[in-house]
Amino acid sequence: MTVTDPAPGGETIADRVPSGCPVVHLDASPPLEAGSHWQKANELRETSPVFFNTHAQGYWMFTRYDEVREMYQHPEIFSSESITPWEPEPVYRFVPTQIDPPEHSKYRQLVSRWFAPNAVKRIEPQAHEVARRLVTELAPRGECDVITDFAMRLPTEVFLALIGVPQADADLFVPWVEDFFAGFGGDLAQQEAMGAALGGIRQYWVDVLAARQDDTEEREHDFVSMLLHSTVDGEPLGDALILDILTVLVLAGLDTTRGQLGYLFRHLAENPADRRRLIEEPQLIPSAVEESLRLYTIIFGDGRKVAQDTEFHGCPLSKGDMVYGLVSGANRDPRVYDRPDEFIVDRRSNNHLGFAGGPHRCLGAHLARMVMKVAVEEWLAVVPDFRIASDTPLMERGGGAMMALLSLPVSWEVSA
Amino acid sequence: MKLEFDANLCRGHGRCYTLAEDLLEEDDEGYVTARGQIVDVPPDQVEDARNAAGSCPERAITILED
Ligand code: HEM
Ligand code: SF4
């Protein structure tokens, strides 16, 4: 593949690609047969640790574990001003996602307690209740689509419980999140629904804020009330920032957990031996969850913007360039993992980057883990045996956003 | 054997205190309480300690052999 001609007069980023750095043209957005994105990441990683990708304005790609971790751990070089490699000048600035250290830690400190393991443990009983209710309702049907009937509803209800708003409002959030991500991949037919969904989400939080505006005291177990009563640098946060944080949580937390659960349940449907093992040794479920985050990483790659000229593994990075760390390549890197392409239920030393690393480590990691563990426990207790009920290959949404199975039809025997 | 926890690298992934729960604890924000410290590993917890160190995505934990 070739690099496009530079604009006359101006040196483009492509002119700086050294001879040792292979050039590809890769747009990871279109939907593909499930598993294709990890296969692509494997091929790239074993071809070269760095690439120049001529997609969009052009950006560097890092394909191996060490390089991706280094990218995450060095925000002074790799800024989060943009995390989308094909969109170097975003018009939005999400908090805390796009804030760099040292400012970033002020916002993280504000919210980290709410999403810490102790806080997540508090709502674990509610997560069990939701999961049990959903599985019990589904069981007599003998079939369902895991993606729409289970994997989306569960994290949504648990998230709302943690925030301290009615769980039943999942009826609103599920379609909003579906509509938002249907349009996120760039499908023009979906743009209107996407905009309407974002509007719905924002208006929901506007109303929640308004209901708390005149409180003199902070409400217990109420995240929005906590934010209203908090300060950063001695100043209240203000409605705009609070709305921004709440919207980020919805967009970062629900579709991701659904996507990850989908791949884990596909694995369980296809691997009766692993299912058996988790039923007999339920203490291995957390380890299976971690392995699914490694092997079935929904993050194809994560972007950063170069903040200072740097030589990085042979690439002359200039301030303003975009880079793309292939998390999917890193998590199956044979330089780090034995049998990297296998699902090993009790894998040890599993240091996957599925929740990123460095200062922007996923805020919801402890919540997502708990929800996934509870989902497997409650499902297997009621539906221990199930299989994929589709004659055509499963398809996955492209890696432009986060990968996710578009549907996962499964079936099981219903005892008379 | 001892484990050394780098205070700057630890980002509260919580892999270590989940895998070596008899040895390590978390604080209210989800960081390991041993952040910036060195922890003695009793002989019966060496296996868990190695797994914890190997599972940290930040490589914040260094194993110090006796
Ligand atoms: C299995 C499910 C999940 C996966 C795989 C995942 C993955 C990630 C990744 C890779 C990042 C880093 C993005 C970057 O720095 O460019 C991230 C950040 C984030 N995640 Fe998650 N996430 C999941 C679930 C959640 C949940 C449940 C929540 C909260 C409800 C959440 C909230 C966030 C937030 C707020 C950030 C931004 C953190 C910061 O910039 O400091 N995530 N997540
Ligand atoms: S696993 Fe690593 S980053 Fe996570 S709490 Fe332990 S030392 Fe810190």
| pLDDT, tens only, A325-368 | 999 999 999 999 999 999 999 999 999 999 999 999 999 999 99
Assess whether pLDDT exceeds 50 at residue A5.
Answer: no
Which of A178-192, A260-274, B46-60 is predicted with the least confidence, judged by mean pLDDT? A178-192
In chain B, how many domains are there? 1
pLDDT value of position B66: 84
CATH number at residue A203: 1.10.630.10
Report the C-alpha gap between A378 and A132 in whole angstroms: 6
Pick A292 or A399 by higher pLDDT.
Answer: A292
* Average pLDDT taken over every residue of chain B: 97
Q: Which domain holds residue A205?
A: 14-411
Would you place residue A168 in the very low, low, confident or very high pLDDT band (cuts 50, 70, 90)?
very high
CB-based burial of residue A55 (10 Å sphere; 0-12 exposed, 13-18 middle, 19+ buried)?
A: middle
How much distance in Å is there from the Cα of A227 to the middle of ligand 1?
19
Assess whether pLDDT exceeds 60 at residue A2.
Answer: no
Assess whether pLDDT exceeds 70 at residue A7.
Answer: no
Assess whether pLDDT exceeds 70 at residue A184.
Answer: yes
Residue A1 lies in a domain: no
Helix ranges restricted to H, A82-190: 103-112, 117-122, 124-138, 146, 153-163, 170-184
* Average pLDDT taken over every residue of chain A: 94
Which of A31-45, A95-109, A394-408, B40-54 is predicted with the least confidence, judged by mean pLDDT? A394-408
Long-range contacts formed by A273-277: CB under 8 A, 24+ apart? A274/A343, A274/A345, A275/A380, A275/A384, A275/A385, A277/A345
* Chain B residue whose CA is closest to A110: B29
Pick A264 or A18 by higher pLDDT.
Answer: A264
Lining ligand 1 with CB less than 6 A are A 83, 96-97, 108, 159, 248-249, 252-253, 256-257, 260, 298-299, 302, 354-356, 360, 362-364, 367-368
Assess whether pLDDT exceeds 50 at residue B50.
Answer: yes
Contacts of A338 in chain B (CB under 8 A): none
pLDDT value of position A6: 41
Would you place residue A288 in the very low, low, confident or very high pLDDT band (cuts 50, 70, 90)?
very high
pLDDT value of position A186: 64
* Chain B residue whose CA is closest to A355: B13
Coil, helix or strand at residue B62? strand
Would you place residue A221 in the very low, low, confident or very high pLDDT band (cuts 50, 70, 90)?
very high
Cis amide bond preceding A96, omega within 30: yes
Would you place residue A104 in the very low, low, confident or very high pLDDT band (cuts 50, 70, 90)?
very high
Specify whether the CB–CB gap between A79 and A304 falls below 8 A.
yes
pLDDT value of position A18: 87
Assess whether pLDDT exceeds 70 at residue A1.
Answer: no
**Which residues contact residue A415 at a Cβ distance below 8 angstroms, ignoring those fewer than 6 apart?**
none
By alpha-carbon position, which residue is closest to atom 6 of ligand 2? Answer: B16
Inter-chain Cβ pairs, chain A and chain B, closer than 8 A: 63
Report the C-alpha gap between A57 and A305 in whole angstroms: 13
Q: Are strands B61-64 and B38-40 parallel, antiparallel or unpaired?
A: unpaired
In chain A, how many domains are there? 1
Pick A3 or B60 by higher pLDDT.
Answer: B60
Could you say which ligand is closest to the alpha carbon of residue A103?
1
- The DSSP output letter for A350 is -
* CB spacing of A351 vs B56 below 8 angstroms: yes
pLDDT value of position A364: 98
Pick A416 or A231 by higher pLDDT.
Answer: A231
* CB spacing of B30 vs A358 below 8 angstroms: no
CATH number at residue B47: 3.30.70.20
Contacts of A69 in chain B (CB under 8 A): 57-59
Helix ranges restricted to H, A185-339: 191-212, 223-228, 239-270, 272-280, 285-295, 327-330
Assess whether pLDDT exceeds 90 at residue A8.
Answer: no
Contacts of A115 in chain B (CB under 8 A): 30
* CB spacing of B55 vs A355 below 8 angstroms: no
Q: Which domain holds residue B18?
A: 2-64
| pLDDT, tens only, A38-67 | 999 999 999 999 999 999 999 999 999 999
Assess whether pLDDT exceeds 70 at residue A416.
Answer: no
pLDDT value of position A12: 77
How much distance in Å is there from the Cα of A327 to the middle of ligand 1?
13
pLDDT value of position A216: 95
Residue B23, chain A, CB below 8 Å: the answer is no
Average pLDDT over residues B41-58: 98
Q: What percent of chain A has pLDDT over 90?
A: 87
Task: Choose among A29, A13, A10: nearest CA to A21.
Answer: A13
Q: Is the ipTM of this complex over 0.95?
A: yes
Residue A4 lies in a domain: no
| pLDDT, tens only, A123-162 | 999 999 999 999 999 999 999 999 999 999 999 999 999 9
